[in-house]
Amino acid sequence: MLTAEPIELPLLRRPLPAWATLPAHQELRLGEKAALQAGPWFAGLSPGLRDAILSRGQVRRVAAGVRIGSRGDLSACWFGVARGAVRLGTALSDGRSFTLDFVGPGQWFGDIAAIDDRPSDLDAVAHMPSTLVVLAKPTLRELMDQHAELRDALLQLNCQRLRRMFRRFEELHTMPLAQRLARQVQRLARQFGHDGPEGTRIELDVSQAELAASVGGSRQRVNRAWRAMLQQGLVERSGSRLLVVDEAGLAQVAAHGLEDCPE
């Protein structure tokens, strides 16, 4: 059973984050627990370790826009996402925001700064109403001491992240914008997509500005690339939700780009 004991946070450079003042819940809802357990990394842990992690965590339900952590904060906690999405990024000097990643159900974050005792490098904000499983840094350390499996698993998790960041870095420096955009839509579809009769609907509100920030392009250029994919019948947009209509066609753009969409 998830505990309801208050999480003791170390001194931060900013006031106590908003999520920490919300009431803790003892139980994950059935669908939330299933989503968390279905995450590939978490599902790969032994049943005993999964139970140990969940038994030491608190459940916090946060509204969209709630700041989970800020760049420069001393790390306080390790987070698992059971519902919703958390946006990881930072503010740029020109006032724009850079979105590094969206963390969805079944994924975990915060362990890097919790382990190396250095300030966080990223802002973390609830992108939509979200349910988090939260473990304080001392609790994570205790679990690592008690379970060698967790130390090895966290090392593997961070190797996966590093490889993913290498691929993103390569995309930003070697691929045209339309190709980068197609790959980002593919990633969002894998994380947040639900198949339906019309295609794969991405259950995540993403604006054109946020798409632009996540692929390192201006909003105008991203709009141009999006219109080109829209005209080819690969994708659609309903409000702020994205729909992948032609997965095979989108994969072609992700692999080779769009010839009629110059940079």
**Predicted confidence (pLDDT) per residue in 55-111, tens digit:** 999 999 999 999 999 888 876 799 999 999 999 988 777 776 778 899 999 999 999
| DSSP secondary structure letter of residue 232 | T
Two tokens at 96?
A: 């724009």
C-beta of residue 212 within 8 angstroms of C-beta of residue 168: no
The first and second tokens of residue 2, run together, are 């998830």
Q: Cβ-count burial of 241 within 10 angstroms (0-12 exposed, 13-18 middle, 19+ buried)?
A: middle
Which pLDDT score is estimated for 75?
Answer: 65
The two three-digit tokens of residue 201, written as one number: 């609907």
CA atoms of 124 and 101, how far apart (whole Å): 10
Spatial CA neighbour of 85 closest among 64, 99, 71, 69? 64
Look over the chain and give the mean of its residue pLDDT values, rounded to a whole number. Answer: 88
The pLDDT value recorded for residue 14 is 56
Q: DSSP states of 82-146 as a string?
A: EEEEEEEEEE-TTS-EEEEEEE-TT-EE-HHHHHHT---SSEEEEEEEEEEEEEEHHHHHHHHHH
Residue 26: closest CA among 107, 133, 130: 133
CA neighbor of 142 nearest in space, from 112, 115, 182, 110: 115
Cα distances (angstroms) measured from residue 195 to each of 107, 161, 185, 200: 20, 26, 14, 4
CA 123 – CA 89 distance, rounded (Å): 5
From first to last of the 263 residues of the chain, give the pLDDT tens digit.
454 444 544 444 456 666 676 666 668 999 999 999 999 999 999 999 999 999 999 999 999 999 999 888 876 799 999 999 999 988 777 776 778 899 999 999 999 988 888 888 899 999 999 999 999 999 999 999 999 999 999 999 999 999 999 999 999 999 999 999 999 999 999 999 999 999 999 999 988 888 898 898 888 999 999 999 999 999 998 777 899 999 999 999 999 998 766 55
Cα distances from 129 to residues 2, 66, 85, 110, 261, in angstroms, run 20, 9, 8, 19, 36
pLDDT at position 32: 97
Three-state secondary-structure class, residue 234: coil
Q: Quote the pLDDT of residue 5.
A: 46
pLDDT at 1 (0 to 100): 44
